[in-house]
Structure 1
Amino acid sequence: MAKPKEKAAPTNGRRARGGVRDIRITDVAALAQVSPITVSRALNNPEVVAPDTLRRIQQTVQQLGYVPNRLAGSLSSSKSRLIAAIVPTVSHSLFSTSIQAFSDAMSRAGYQVLLGLSGYSEDDELRVLDAALSRRPEGVLLVGVARTAPLRARLLSLQLPTVETWDTTDLPVDMLVGFSHYDIGVAVAQHFIARGWRRPAIVSANDARARARHDGFLQTMARNGIADVADISVAPPSSVELGRASLTRILDARPDIDCVFCGSDLLALGVLGEARSRGIKVPDNLAVCGFGDLEFAAELRPALTSVRVDGKRIGTAAADCLIARLRGASAESNVDVGFTIVARDTA
């Protein structure tokens, strides 16, 4: 008896340059036994397609190697299904957690995230944004807020749903999901003062968000009669080596300091390492607080006191805001995720 033949994939598609077959949406629809419009919905709005149908279409897409022509789709419908995300760096786990959560949520809604890395240069943010705009994104995510007049003017002129994150401002371009870096500086200073440490130092990067924490810390110390603060500024991104070098500089000038606020957990890790190498007991002789509450903070001995911000919540909330606006619904315009000082052994 002859072996039954397997159902063959459609063969009426056009051939692209070089002889590689150009699979069309109608080919996917025929093999999946659904209409082309159902395939389109599965690719662009998967949440509206029945789970069994969606699974069958996804399997067919994988079997045929179908790649949607997003450019053609955007020309015909003015929809690119792209979201531009402008990020300083993905090497920082806080930002990468946010971007992953944001990308996952946008993907479930049928959108793809186009990532642009701007470093910590405000001028580069505008150049990266302009490069992303050539792809005709439907929305914009910005890590940070638009501080320069040219960047703010460009975002306002786009009239695209835009969400600024990881910061706060009285004049958001559109939607805002973040927290006050200034208030973090205030809270850490109050934490030190309440525990009796009154000879402070701060090691901080010189980007806008870090400067806000720096200002909150120094101004709160000054309001409590502590004006002499050892102050070290470093260029981002922060590192363990910068933390060690910073404590060395501080101790050379101010060997009497009794507490240090570090602008990141990596800087704090370097400070702790240098303190250990010098035989300085933490927190008996030197209290240390970081920022970010990275995974290693709780595992150190002594465990690192740090400021925790929910990066995953920021990414998810930002996606919720954009998705609502893209679907024509109302969205929260200002979401404050807050922060927490996680007090552990070092402070």
Structure 2
Amino acid sequence: MNPNTERGRINYVIETRLKNTEAYMDSFKRTFDTEIREVLKLKKRIDPKTIQEVISLILNCRGRVVITGMGKSGIIGRKISSTLASTGTPSFFLHPAEGLHGDLGRITRNDIVFAISNSGETQEVLRILPSVRRIGAKLISITGNARSTLARLSNVSIDTGAIEEACPLGLAPTSTTTATLILGDALAVALLDVRDFKPEDFAVFHPGGSLGQKLLLTVKGVIRTISRTHPVAHQNAKVKEVLFRMTDSGIGAVSIVDEENRLIGILTDGDIRKALSNGNISWDQTISEIYTTDPYYVTTDQLAAEALHLMEEKDINVLPVVSSGESEPIAIIRIQDLTRIGL
């Protein structure tokens, strides 16, 4: 290495600084501190009324939310658009330069254009605004300058204010992009909450992934994976007889039916053990006094995710299953059956 050449000098500086691990590790950690601090400052700074206006505009939008932005803002905008689309808010990203060359035709008067520009003066973004206004779409913006052209032309503008970049030169977008990304996530989650967006709704937009497949799985599909007998007992069956059926099935529970084979209860091995230990019942007595009446149950066409939620909410480990529109039990599913498939 020749220190007299430009490349040699640069390599020498790099090698020298690499040896000073304390210096660059301080810089590494300082980035975390700076970005976290700026995000927390933004959380306090944002006007709740502005967010309410933005949420209201989007909820009442009959079209789509069109995110646009240049450079790093555009990259963040793509992610925000993707998050909105996957959580129930129809959205797509429009590159402003492409918009200037014909893609503005994708925008309709029923849409909302959501522009991101820290300066609020990004020329590519500003140049599409006359067409956006002529089309009749509403305009929302995120900008760090409330007096900027973009902010003034917007129906609603979210002012992020001055944000200190983690970059020591103050040039590379770091804290600003992180703050904008979190702001976009916060809006998406708020919209998700207002819409009462459920796991099964999420699965509809993710049918190709393993998560979507799991969330779209019905109880009927779970039953197909179970290779065991379904224990059923009449309400007047004896304790000894029912216990044998439980043991043979390996479930530890039995569906209780009446004379017409309609589900009227459930009995677990825990119920039997408790009754025997308390001296309340003997082996030759009937189960009529110890089974649980009016049990929770699911139908075959319900989502497996719903069955799991019911079990967790009611703190139970087994659920009888009946066919849709019927009352005769056809299976018992355990919470292990659902967790085993990854729910």
Structure number with larger C-alpha Rg: 2
Alignment TM-score, normalising by the size of structure 2: 0.32
Question: Greater helix percent: which structure?
Answer: 2
Choose between structure 1 and 2 for higher RCO, CA contacts under 8 A separated by at least 6 residues: 1
Alignment TM-score, normalising by the size of structure 1: 0.31
